[in-house]
């Protein structure tokens, strides 16, 4: 057996591609193996009848021009590729119970003014909570974000930014809900803070780490939300371009079915066609469940992973409704991103909260002239879609789509009459095309945990095997998995002596 490569990366999600490009830029011989036809995973795309649809959300952090938290910008720069982006002046337009109709403007003061107008009695608490989020962000944004598992990096960062590091340590065991309740008492406002967290973490504020909340609630005003021209799929395409430019390799339609273990060490992978590749280090961009229950023998799962699975469960997948609509359906003042919820008690329910992205408001080239894309998605568990005949499955999808469209009519009157194209995806679709266990979009806590302290890093209990992506620190979201990729690439480069 000979090592064909220094590093093999299983999967070409953003976390895997950032790991691969970081290593390739250092001269490491890297191979990425992707089961599908294109890269990106849930940050991919598909095309139908002149529309280019994003697979996942189009609310993208990490493309800022300053600081250190602009990880997507830094990842592209590392391999000398560029991607034009379009700034979005509003992160989200909320349509919430009790007439709470609120826009999260990129301008921080404008956002606070609009929020305080709804809750004037909480003006001081609102400012104190969001200003504390800025304290977290400013600590993160002062230092290069690499592997927290690498001692020399930690020592260097501490000596360069001792007070910032101590500030972050303070917040590591805290959740956003704990901090919010120090300053805010109004129950409806606390529900809004829950939604502010739920819209990207898929859990309420009590289960959302303060480190993550500080990053999101501040970066939307600092680096802002920026949409990649040509669609979200361009991020992965550009990273692959950079990978190839730096002599890395990628293979498509290459489904890894097994990680090869010898004497307790990961030494290679085997594909569905029986072909084997060997490397000094193996990186899994699959979920922890897919990695340790499918690519490895579940009977030999390390105790560390068993403990992790007791703390975390799979987040829901999504029911996705991809619509092409006539442009006149949308009023001229329509924002790109919306969240709709009619009843606070249904926030976490099956198909309770509706997320809406209209990327053609930023990049009209994604749809035929005179038309828009409305991508609607709502949390859904795979159990809701099990044990159905093909006919029952199609009927259930059609019924679910009609319910979503009827709900969307409340914010987009006349939508039904403007429909031009419609396609529905379910958790089964996400499982099939993305290769993610139950179609999940990552882990969520089974119960309240102390901030980020229980999240796993990139190294695993198996020698030579690393994990990257939303199942590792710091969690879900493109900028978060980019952070995971930077950390994983740095850890492996040190291990390889690069």
**Sequence-ordered list of residues with C-beta below 8 angstroms from that of 330, at least 6 positions apart, any chain:** 358, 361, 372, 412
Residue ending a domain, among 402, 419, 437, is 437
- Measured between alpha carbons, how far is 233 from 164 in angstroms, rounded to an integer? 35
- Measured between alpha carbons, how far is 316 from 281 in angstroms, rounded to an integer? 31
Q: How far is CA 319 from CA 141, 265, 423, 429, in A?
A: 35, 39, 11, 9
What mean pLDDT do residues 138-167 have? 68
The pLDDT tens digits for 445-455 are 888 877 666 78
Residue 192: which domain range?
116-224
The pLDDT tens digits for 193-203 are 999 999 988 88
pLDDT at 291: 95
Residues 399-408: b if buried by 16+ CB within 10 A, e if exposed: ebbeebbebb
Q: Do 218 and 255 lie in a common domain?
A: no
pLDDT at 151 over 70: no
The pLDDT tens digits for 347-383 are 999 999 999 999 999 999 999 999 999 999 999 999 9
Residue ending a domain, among 417, 437, 457, is 437
Q: Give the number of domains in the chain.
A: 3
The pLDDT tens digits for 86-105 are 999 999 999 999 999 999 99
Which letter does DSSP use for residue 315 in this model?
P
Is 164 part of a structural domain of the chain? yes
Percent of the chain with pLDDT over 70: 94
The pLDDT tens digits for 253-271 are 999 999 999 999 999 999 9
- Measured between alpha carbons, how far is 430 from 444 in angstroms, rounded to an integer? 18
Three-state DSSP class for 418?
Answer: helix
CB 393 within 8 A of CB 400: no
Is 487 part of a structural domain of the chain? yes
pTM: 0.91
Tokens matching residue 29: 């011989």
Choose between 278 and 166: higher pLDDT. 278
Q: Do 306 and 251 lie in a common domain?
A: yes
Tokens matching residue 432: 């099939």
What region does 108 belong to: left with phi over 0, alpha with psi -120 to 50, or beta? alpha
Sign of the dihedral through C-alpha 402, 408, 414, 419: negative
Q: Do 152 and 45 lie in a common domain?
A: no
Q: Which of the residue ranges 137-146, 228-237, 294-303 would you say has the lowest mean pLDDT?
A: 137-146
- Measured between alpha carbons, how far is 327 from 104 in angstroms, rounded to an integer? 24
What mean pLDDT do residues 145-166 have? 65
Residue ending a domain, among 437, 466, 483, is 437
- Measured between alpha carbons, how far is 321 from 404 in angstroms, rounded to an integer? 8
pLDDT at 42: 85
pLDDT at 1: 54
């Amino acid at each position: 057996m000979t090592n064909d490569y220094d590093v093999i990366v299983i999967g070409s999600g953003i976390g895997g591609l950032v790991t691969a490009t970081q290593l390739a830029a250092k001269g490491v011989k890297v191979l990425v193996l992707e089961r599908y036809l294109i890269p990106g995973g849930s940050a991919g795309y598909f095309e139908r009848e002149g529309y280019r649809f994003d697979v996942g959300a189009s609310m993208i952090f990490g493309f800022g021009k300053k600081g250190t938290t602009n990880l997507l910008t830094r990842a592209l720069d590392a391999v000398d590729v560029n991607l034009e982006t379009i700034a979005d002046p509003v992160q989200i337009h909320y349509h919430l119970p009790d007439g709470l109709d609120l826009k999260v403007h990129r301008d921080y003061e404008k956002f606070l003014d609009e929020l305080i107008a709804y809750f004037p009695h909480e003006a001081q608490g609102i400012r104190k909570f969001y200003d504390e989020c800025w304290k977290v962000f400013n600590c993160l944004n002062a230092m290069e974000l690499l592997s927290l598992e690498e001692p020399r990096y930690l020592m260097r960062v501490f000596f360069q930014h001792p007070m910032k590091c101590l500030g972050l340590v303070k917040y590591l065991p805290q959740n956003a809900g704990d901090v919010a309740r120090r300053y805010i008492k109004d129950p409806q406002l606390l529900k809004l803070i829950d939604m502010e967290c739920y819209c990207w973490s898929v859990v309420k504020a009590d289960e959302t780490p303060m480190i993550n909340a500080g990053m999101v609630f501040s970066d939307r005003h600092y680096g802002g939300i920026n949409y990649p021209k040509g669609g979200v799929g361009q991020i992965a395409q550009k990273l692959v371009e950079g990978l190839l430019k730096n002599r890395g390799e990628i293979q498509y339609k290459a489904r890894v079915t097994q990680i090869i273990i010898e004497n307790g060490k990961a030494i290679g992978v085997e594909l569905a066609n029986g072909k084997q590749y060997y490397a000094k280090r193996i990186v899994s961009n699959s979920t922890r469940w897919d990695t340790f229950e499918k690519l490895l023998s579940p009977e030999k799962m390390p105790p560390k992973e068993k403990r992790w699975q007791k703390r975390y469960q799979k987040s829901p997948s999504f029911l996705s409704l991809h619509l092409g609509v006539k442009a006149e359906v949308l009023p001229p003042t329509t924002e790109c991103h919306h969240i709709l919820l009619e009843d606070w008690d249904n926030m976490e329910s099956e198909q309770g909260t509706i997320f809406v992205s209209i990327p053609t408001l930023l990049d009209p080239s994604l749809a035929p002239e005179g038309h828009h894309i409305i991508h609607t998605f709502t949390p859904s568990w795979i159990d809701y879609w099990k044990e159905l005949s093909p006919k029952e499955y199609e009927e259930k999808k059609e019924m679910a789509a009609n319910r979503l469209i009827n709900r969307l009519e409340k914010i987009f009157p006349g939508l039904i009459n403007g429909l031009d194209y419609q396609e529905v995806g379910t958790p089964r679709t996400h499982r099939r095309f993305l290769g993610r266990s139950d179609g999940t979009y990552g882990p969520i806590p089974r119960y309240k945990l102390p901030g980020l302290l229980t999240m796993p890093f990139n190294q695993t209990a198996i020698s030579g095997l690393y994990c990257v992506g939303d199942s590792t620190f710091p969690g879900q979201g493109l900028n978060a998995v980019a952070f995971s990729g930077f950390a994983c690439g740095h850890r492996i480069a040190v291990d390889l002596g690069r």
